[in-house]
Structure 1
Amino acid sequence: LLFASAEILGCSGLASLRVTNLTEETIKVGVPGPYSGPAAEKGEHLKYGIQLAAEEINGKGGFLGKKVELVFADTEAKPEVGVSAYEKMVTRDKVQFIVGEVNSDVALATLDVVARYRIPTLYAIPASDELGKKVKSNPQKYAMVFMVDIPVSVMQSGSFLWLDEATKAGKLKVKEKTYALIYEDSSWGRIVGETWKNNMEKIGWKNVLTEVTPFKESEYMPILTRVKKLNPELVKIEITSLPAGVAITKQIAEMGIKSYIFGGYYQKTIEFPRMAGSFAEGSFNIREPYAPDWDKKIQKRFPKADPIASMFSYDSLYILGEAISKAQSFEPEKVTKALLETDHRGVFMRTVFDPETHFARFGKEYKLFGVAMFKNGKLELIWPPDYAQLKF
């Protein structure tokens, strides 16, 4: 049995025809990711998650009785390499669906590839808001593209929900609701800094100090002297450099600053707990919630797997499977229609796609980044309550 779908692209008059042979015993799913180069570690965790999902799904009979065959393609986290890798997956390897990817720049570069060949695609980790804007700008062209994560612009939002709840409940011992903001002079630092300024004002917190530091700064004593003098009840720090993050963490302790500390990206690196030691104890950060015992489950099969980095691809393959089951078909248009109706409760909360951007919806009833606290060298989730690993 053969079926085909065609799309006229733009005003060029060129048509793209994709033919899928449904007599094959397997369903080929392309899994792009950075499997070599500086981002290879992230690619490995992506691979762990989807491999576990495929093993479980195939153990139950596969998709509509057909076993899932994973086809891995190395993008090296480079857009130009990604475009070539995606082309090869479709034209040479004949994949029928794509599930994977880590890098947002690669995802943006490959949007037109998956649109041209009409391949239902679930980007597992890419979260640039630009992806949603592209889908919204041309919904017909990018109809088959979906993002399983929430967009970057709302990743910090859980922080403010928690701060507001914890303050009102008396869990955070504050009187004046004052905070200091320290962030690095980078695009990421500025985005997070402005997000905190805007949202903290909305929930009634007063900014008493804002400091923008050079990237990879190591000497924070002058800034921390001002922080200690002003004595804000909370200090938010957004730094991506691990050495800089360790430096400011230790210098805060040396200065005897007693404010609540809400850390940044530097705290989420594998090496941070070892390098910072006890100096990080009691500080907060955002972290993705995951289902109870997920870490034990994935690490039983793959001992080196990171529970967070592996859960996106795991959920993504199950989301695709549910859509195929609902559609009772492998036809791209029917599967896409079913994907739009997704309501999946997986490892990372609940996935429902926004009909305009095709990003996973944000919110307490859908997906959000929770809040975690360092305890005994581990960043343990304390909110939302249903996913809490530690009572606060």
Structure 2
Amino acid sequence: MRDLHELPKLSDSLSYLYIEHAIIEQKAKAVEMVDAQGRVMIPAANLTVLLLGPGTRITHAAVKSLADNGCTIVWVGEDGTRYYAHGGGETRRAYHLLHQARLVSAPHMRLAVCRRMYRRRFGEELEPGLTIQQLRGKEGVRMRTYYAQTSLRYGVEWKGRRYKRGTWEAADPVNRALSSANALLNGLCHAAIVSGGYSAALGFIHTGKQLSFVYDIADLYKTEITIPVAFRTAAQGQRNLHARVRTACRAVFKEKRLLQRILPDIMELLDLPTETLQAGKLADTDPARPEPLWTPADEVELAPALPARAEPVEVAVDQTALRLRRQRAAKGMSGGWTVWQLNPAAWHVITASGPPGYTIQKIEGQFYCTCPDFARTGLGACKHTFAVELFLASETSRLEEEA
């Protein structure tokens, strides 16, 4: 691909470029690639991730130019099939990671993600009420069945997933092929995860490793890609087994467009809400934009007093926008939103799938919310303030009924 202005998409908002056997250097205020075919300018301003494969060299000036344009550099194996290291770009976005951390820290949310992972892998719904141990048991049965079916399909004897790291060559050919294929898959998933601003360590099914989330995501594609590749390659003989597995995996990764699929799949599994995506977008749009400070729910910091006005100022309020937010609040309150009253003039609202909640205060008869929507629109209200109003109305009705 010589026209680098037509970049492929890693997701709807993330462009990437893979380069190998080339030199990357700065030219004027841009970045240039030099390889055996000549020189090509790289549109760094439109590039979010640069994957550097074998045989690449990059100058200090080029790294600085890419970082200034918000591009993350990832050093990978051939065709992106191994992750080695990465350097962060200019992005200030941490909302994907915060959302991931919130989900992994709440047992019921974590289990919900595990259930979505199971559904994504095997295409079937789980009966409600299953524990994580029961889910793992069902997963184990499905995987053993799939290994047996693939063994019959390719005519390769299967004695189970067995290998020892200390005696690698003692494993049978198909197990060695599986290990090679899965290592390549892990590398590709790792590169995509760090490019999307997620933590490779915060896994949902796997835990306790720096690559736990990598293993979670790689498991999504094993029955589709690495297991068939490993059995097919092992069936063709043992000579140059690992090299043939690498070649076959790279071909299938390209055919299945795996690199382009990983981040959208993660967004679906983690159920990234619109608020999180918008907050991340706003954080990257303005490099000088101050982000909100964290405040514990039981230590609400009082808002500063409003400046006095000599004369009342009339503000045209968008009634349609208010009505939509009121409707979202009503739907949310009936669908599982939580409102905690912190003190007589402060509340904390947690939506079912949003960020870790926002604090609402009532000052001089007016509600104020810490969410980005309240600060941005100037409506003087948001779905969280309406949720508090609905909560207070419900509490008033309850007290009247009890009286």
TM over 0.5: no
Query: Whose relative contact order is higher, 1 or 2, with alpha carbons under 8 Å and at least 6 apart?
Result: 1
TM-score, length basis structure 2: 0.25
Name whichever structure is richer in helix by fraction. Answer: 2
Flag the structure with higher strand content: 1
Give the TM-score normalised by the residue count of structure 1.
0.26
